[in-house]
Structure 1
């Protein structure tokens, strides 16, 4: 039996959708892409990978804030 992780499937869909030409997208198409990315973020956030990304982004933001003072 083959199982597909929903987050991995959404990541593939996001990559395919973002590779298309920008001027070929309609407003509804852009809204759907945003919705898919939000759902992907919600699925990935509680995982170890999501927490690692959060830590990296937090450190980067902290470094930018510290360097601007």
Structure 2
């Protein structure tokens, strides 16, 4: 039996949607991409990989903040 992780499927969809040229996208196409990316974020956030990304971005943000002082 083949199982597909929904987060992986959404990541692949986002990858191929973002490869398209910007000027060939309609406004509705851009809105759909945003909705898909948000859904991907919701699926990834509670996973260990998502927590690692949050920690990494938090460290990066605090480093930028301290460098700006």
Q: List structure 1 runs of 4+ shifted beyond 6 angstroms.
A: none
Match of 2:38? 38
Q: TM-score, normalised by structure 2?
A: 0.99
Aligned pair count reads 69
CA RMSD of aligned residues (A): 0.2
| Unaligned stretches of 5+ residues in structure 1 | none
Q: TM-score, normalised by structure 1?
A: 0.99
| Unaligned stretches of 5+ residues in structure 2 | none
- How far 1:40 moved relative to its partner? 0.1
Cα separation, 2, equivalents of 1:64 and 1:16 = 31
